[in-house]
């Protein structure tokens, strides 16, 4: 089972992806986490990656593909994976197809989360994240606040606002998305594996109904 999460930044791909991971029992793999992890460990290249992230730009195709290829060769994703944040370009999607073809696998469904830009901006600037690498829980000051202000409900770590969760960077990320990643919607629609979920900006997206809908769509 291979599920790809599509949608603009801030639509909740990570939150829904983790929910689906629990529902289907397969790993949730976030390209953002891979990039951030790599950027902390590898000297000059790490600074280049972090610069792209901080400025709301895409990590170059070649580097993104190589990092994801390495991750998809690990043993825990052999029986299935939920990809969040990859592919982001048609070129990456084509290379991903080649990787899976060699592994005798394919993408089963591309889940597209849809939300207007102005609501996305509001969501992101009010987002708070748990920096604990073993947790990474996400909260929202409006519709999903932590029980104790500024503290993660799950692990007790102090919540942070990511450096790139500001209006200027979000607008740049959205512009980049519309210029590149948005084309993936048609790419997977033409393969008849696109499933679009229209979101409500004032409610949490982690409803079990989404997982049930996808299960019915896949006939499992």
Told to judge if 105 belongs to the known catalytic residues of this protein, a careful annotator would answer: no
**Which of 18, 71, 88, 136 does the annotation list as catalytic?**
88
> Nearest CA to 215 among 19, 12, 13?
19
Told to judge if 216 belongs to the known catalytic residues of this protein, a careful annotator would answer: no
**Which of 18, 95, 105, 173 does the annotation list as catalytic?**
173
**Which of 13, 18, 95, 128 does the annotation list as catalytic?**
13
Reading the block at residue 34, the tokens are 């891979």
Told to judge if 88 belongs to the known catalytic residues of this protein, a careful annotator would answer: yes
**Which of 23, 36, 126, 162 does the annotation list as catalytic?**
162
Told to judge if 123 belongs to the known catalytic residues of this protein, a careful annotator would answer: no
**Which of 18, 71, 127, 144 does the annotation list as catalytic?**
127
Catalytic residues: 13, 88, 127, 162, 173
């Amino acid at each position: 089972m291979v599920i790809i999460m599509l949608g603009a930044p801030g639509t909740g791909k990570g939150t829904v992806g983790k929910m689906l991971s629990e529902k289907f029992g397969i790993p949730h793999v976030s390209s953002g986490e891979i990039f951030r992890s790599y950027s902390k460990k590898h000297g000059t290249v790490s600074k280049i990656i972090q610069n792209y992230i901080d400025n709301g730009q895409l990590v170059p195709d070649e580097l993104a593909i190589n990092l994801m290829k390495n991750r998809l060769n690990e043993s825990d994703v052999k029986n299935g994976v939920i990809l969040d944040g990859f592919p982001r370009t048609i070129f990456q999607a084509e290379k991903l197809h080649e990787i899976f073809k060699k592994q005798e696998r394919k993408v089963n469904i591309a889940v597209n989360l849809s939300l207007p830009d102005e609501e996305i901006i509001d969501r992101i600037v009010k987002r708070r994240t748990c920096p604990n690498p073993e947790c990474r829980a996400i909260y929202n000051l409006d519709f999903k606040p932590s029980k104790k202000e500024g503290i993660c409900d799950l692990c007790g770590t102090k919540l942070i606002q990511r450096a790139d969760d500001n209006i200027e960077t979000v607008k740049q990320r959205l512009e980049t998305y519309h210029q590149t990643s948005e084309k993936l919607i048609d790419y997977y629609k033409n393969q008849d594996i696109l499933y679009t979920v229209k979101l409500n900006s004032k409610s949490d997206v982690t409803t079990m109904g989404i997982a049930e809908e996808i299960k019915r769509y896949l006939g499992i």
